[in-house]
Structure 1
Amino acid sequence: MADTISSFWGPVTSPEWCEKNYVYSSYIAEFFNTVSNIPCLILALIGLVNALRQRFEKRFSVLHISNMVLAIGSMLYHATLQRVQQQGDETPMVWEMLLYIYILYSPDWHYRSTMPTFLFLYGAAFAVAHAIIRFGAGFKVHYAILCLLCIPRMYKYYIHTNDVHAKRLAKLYLTTISLGTVCWLFDRLYCRKISSWYFNPQGHALWHVLMGFNSYFANTFLMFCRAQQLEWNPRVVHFLGLFPYVKVQKPKSQ
């Protein structure tokens, strides 16, 4: 902890990352790890506006909102490094993955009420357990398993999509999650060496930025695939030639 600035939040009660605490403000423990969540918040808001404007199913609005909640939870966690705020970061991470599992698998699920009921109860049970028990490495393994459950379905959507721009979204999703994981591991495994450098590359902050884009690319790709299933004639268009989003043309009967 920096000696020149005192801590507003008191002693640290949650795991710290490879960034010196309270360097820029007594109100923000890990400055870069906090502000690096802003891109995720903005991208999720853009996705939410697009989902509402084109009247996508409510599941996608909830998905974008969950991304925003996760970004806010992560900001509070890294700003305070307190146990309660850590739960406010990690529990939404699990809820978000359960929502991804629902969106990915629900189109082929024959018993419509069974799957959301199970996922809701699972998420509620995890929240209660996580409030009582410190999972530590167990949380990371659990989260990784939930992520891996999504990959086969994402691959199935990818191979059944002929649109070049939609496939590019899937590739960007894979690229950002791969680069983000490398940054996360580098920051975690080599922190002692990084701390002796003149310049800290802020690997965990880069993970936040990359995962913000990763969530946006994943959400946009899933919106395209769902619009295809509903025969809404989706197209991936680019704002200013760079920023991708899905535009649909619904049949007049809808």
Structure 2
Amino acid sequence: MDDGISSFWGPVTSTTECCEKNYAHSSYIAEFFNTISNIPCVLLALIGLINALRQRFEKRFSVLHISNMILAIGSMFFHATLQRVQQQSDETPMVWEMLLYMYILYSPDWHYRSTMPTFLFLYGAGFAIVHSVIRFGIGFKVHYVILCLLCIPRMYKYYIHTQDVSAKRLAKLYVATLFIGGLCWLSDRLFCEKISSWPINPQGHAWWHLFMGLNSYFANTFLMFCRAQQRQWAPKVVYFMGILPYVKIEKPKAQ
């Protein structure tokens, strides 16, 4: 929502804006709350990365956590500037991240090991090139939702084949944060005109960032548990300071 105030970054060139008054707190940050709300997402991804490295999980999980960090940082740049080039730094990593999830979810049962990563890499590179030339609007959102939907059947399969109560709770938290975050995003998009007249803006898009940061963390932790089960690493869900869940494993000495 642009109110015409001059800014360090110049006129808005992005194809989408959220229901937050531009440059209300700083001439260097277009959407203040939508920018800083990505900080917890970076921290959660960093915690996940440290755990993956410390316990020597497969590199795919380190790459996944790093992709979460890149996405959150790209989102910070986009909401801080509202420039088209920074919009790409937000949207392109969103697609890359979903391609990584597809690889992690489906690769254990894929018989031709090189075909899937090769196809997904070429698809991601092709999308980045096309996205740098074409301005996607609703098409990007439809494309992203389709990628998300392709992951759901496999996530459900993992859920029903997991007997551990704590791991199932991670999957439920994943669904809950996705649902609540989605409501926040929709309310910010659909009721912006009404919200703008309120004394205090609830900052629905900023809450979307926070819930999606938690959503990614819960998804990653659940998938790490499932993969550790496949590798027979005796995984169990433990809690840091009794709050934040993570997966602890015991690899056989041969590994």
Which range, TM-score by smaller chain? over 0.9
Q: Which amino acid aligns with 1:11?
A: P
Q: Which amino acid aligns with 1:156?
A: K
Q: How far, CA to CA, are the matches of 2:17 and 2:71 in structure 1? A: 18
Determine what percentage of the aligned residue pairs are the same residue: 79
Q: Which amino acid aligns with 2:209?
A: H
1:241 is displaced (CA, Å) by 1.3
- SS of the equivalent of 1:237 reads strand
Q: How far, CA to CA, are the matches of 2:49 and 2:231 in structure 1? A: 19
- SS of the equivalent of 1:244 reads strand
Residues 1:139 and 2:140 aligned together: yes
1:6 is displaced (CA, Å) by 3.3
Q: Report matched runs for 1:233-252 at 5 Å.
A: 233-252=234-253
Q: How far, CA to CA, are the matches of 2:6 and 2:139 in structure 1? A: 33
TM-score (norm 1): 0.98
In structure 2, the residue matched to 1:98 is 99
1:253 is displaced (CA, Å) by 1.2
- SS of the equivalent of 1:238 reads strand
Q: How many residue pairs are counted as aligned between the two chains?
A: 253
Q: How far, CA to CA, are the matches of 1:42 and 1:171 in structure 2? A: 22
CA deviation string 1:66-120 (max 9, x = no partner): 0000000000000000000000000000000000000000000000000000000
Q: How far, CA to CA, are the matches of 2:207 and 2:240 in structure 1? A: 24
Q: Report matched runs for 1:74-223 at 5 Å.
A: 74-223=75-224
In structure 2, the residue matched to 1:232 is 233
- Structure 2: state its 5+ residue gaps: none
Q: Which amino acid aligns with 2:12?
A: V
Q: How far, CA to CA, are the matches of 1:211 and 1:118 in structure 2? A: 27
Q: How far, CA to CA, are the matches of 1:62 and 1:243 in structure 2? A: 21
Q: How far, CA to CA, are the matches of 2:178 and 2:167 in structure 1? A: 17
1:56 is displaced (CA, Å) by 0.2
Residues 1:64 and 2:65 aligned together: yes
Q: How far, CA to CA, are the matches of 2:77 and 2:137 in structure 1? A: 19
Q: How far, CA to CA, are the matches of 2:176 and 2:42 in structure 1? A: 20
Runs of at least 4 residues off by over 2 Å: none
Q: How far, CA to CA, are the matches of 2:17 and 2:208 in structure 1? A: 15
C-alpha root-mean-square deviation of aligned residues, in Å?
0.8
| Contact 1:2–1:23 (Cα < 8 Å) also in 2 | no
Q: Which amino acid aligns with 1:176?
A: T
Q: Which amino acid aligns with 1:201?
A: P
Q: Which amino acid aligns with 2:13?
A: T
TM-score (norm 2): 0.98
1:2 is displaced (CA, Å) by 5.3
Q: How far, CA to CA, are the matches of 1:16 and 1:244 in structure 2? A: 34
Q: How far, CA to CA, are the matches of 2:242 and 2:192 in structure 1? A: 39
1:38 is displaced (CA, Å) by 0.5
- SS of the equivalent of 2:239 reads strand
- SS of the equivalent of 1:245 reads strand
